[in-house]
């Protein structure tokens, strides 16, 4: 029998997770708070399947079978039969707490509760449940259908069995996992990109090299697909500033102290691609 997945939040990440899981044979229930949000999510999934079909990477039959495996609802109770639940709502602790409290009361005892948070400690999310050993981080990357990585995050109480189930789930949908063994601020990936962006911005700010040259150094010298300042523009200078500030607040490690330039760019609205101006003009 097909295994059941509930995805809470039909935004960019939740719809992507639903999309790849349905292709892999999971029976997916996608939950959001409004029908409009669910429609946006499923429209995005359909458009993405169409693209895969037109590129010959998925057959039309497989795409329609996958689509038929996704059901949508505004009722959280629909998660009660799930083997795995992945939460992908706004990055706000209070919102995640409300969902985990409710899920704790309704899902099966053996269900795994996963969060797609990019930065909130899993231990903090798990603390409002009666089963912190069954809570884990499954940090997928955007766009989910294209990006290979899933960063599995172990909270202080996450059990080996839960981690194994999370790995099995992520691998079943085609991802490769890394394991964050301790629930540190920024996990592994946000720690690495923050340290690199902060240092790149400091070099640029102090006039050591141009933005283009700093990015070229990483591309040609280290084989990175994209330089750190171009990455900051793509992700959003505000998003990276926020991530770095959180890591700094928790670690007090100077290497994560964001340079003044990043703060001033955010004040000025130079947030990167989404505003047409960041470290580069777009």
Ligand X SMILES: NC(=O)c1ccc[n+]([C@@H]2O[C@H](COP(=O)([O-])OP(=O)(O)OC[C@H]3O[C@@H](n4cnc5c(N)ncnc54)[C@H](O)[C@@H]3O)[C@@H](O)[C@H]2O)c1
Query: Contact with ligand X (CB under 6 A): which of 19, 42, 72, 118?
Result: 118
Tokens of 182: 């301790």
146 touches ligand X (CB under 6 A): no
Cis peptide bond prior to 143, omega within 30° of 0: yes
In the bound state, the residue with its beta carbon closest to ligand X is 11
29 touches ligand X (CB under 6 A): no
Query: Contact with ligand X (CB under 6 A): which of 5, 6, 7, 13?
Result: 13
| CB of 75 vs ligand X, minimal distance in Å | 10
191 touches ligand X (CB under 6 A): no
Please give the helix or strand (H or E) that residue 139 lies within, else none: strand 135-140
- Provide DSSP, 76-129: GGGGGG-SEEEE---S-HHHHHHHHHHHHHHS-TT-EEEE--SSS-HHHHHTTS
37 touches ligand X (CB under 6 A): yes
3-state secondary structure of 201: helix
Number of residues that bind ligand X (CB under 6 A): 23
Please give the helix or strand (H or E) that residue 191 lies within, else none: helix 189-205
- Give the binding range for ligand X (CB under 6 A) out of 12-20, 21-29, 201-209, 268-276: 12-20
Output the CA–CA distances (angstroms, integers) from residue 243 to 70, 119, 131, 271, in the order listed: 33, 7, 28, 14
| CB of 244 vs ligand X, minimal distance in Å | 15
Binding site for ligand X (CB under 6 A): 8-14, 31-33, 37, 88-91, 95, 99, 116-118, 139, 141-142
């Amino acid at each position: 029998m097909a295994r059941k997945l509930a995805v809470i939040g039909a935004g960019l990440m939740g719809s992507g997770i639903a999309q790849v899981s349905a292709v892999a044979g999971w029976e997916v229930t996608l939950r959001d708070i409004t029908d409009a949000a669910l429609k946006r999510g499923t429209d995005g999934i359909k458009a993405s399947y169409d693209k895969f079909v037109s590129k010959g990477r998925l057959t039309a039959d497989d795409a329609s079978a996958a689509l038929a495996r996704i059901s949508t609802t505004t009722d959280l109770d629909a998660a009660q039969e799930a083997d795995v639940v992945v939460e992908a709502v706004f990055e706000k602790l209070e919102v995640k707490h409300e969902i985990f409290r409710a899920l704790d009361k309704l899902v099966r005892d053996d269900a795994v509760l996963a969060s797609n948070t990019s930065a909130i400690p899993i231990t903090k999310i798990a603390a409002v449940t009666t089963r912190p050993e069954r809570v884990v981080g499954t940090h997928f990357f955007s766009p989910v259908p294209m990006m290979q990585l899933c960063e599995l995050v172990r909270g202080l109480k996450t059990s080996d069995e839960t981690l194994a189930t999370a790995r099995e789930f992520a691998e079943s949908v085609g991802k490769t996992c890394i394991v964050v063994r301790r629930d540190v601020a920024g996990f592994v990936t946000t720690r690495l990109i923050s340290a690199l962006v902060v240092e790149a911005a400091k070099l640029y700010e102090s006039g050591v090299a141009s933005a283009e040259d700093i990015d070229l150094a990483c591309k040609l010298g280290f084989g990175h697909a994209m330089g750190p300042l171009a990455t900051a523009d793509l992700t959003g200078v505000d998003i990276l500033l926020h991530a770095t500030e959180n890591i700094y607040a928790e670690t007090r490690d100077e290497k994560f102290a964001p340079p003044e330039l990043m703060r001033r760019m955010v004040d000025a609205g130079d947030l990167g691609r989404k505003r047409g101006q960041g470290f580069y003009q777009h």
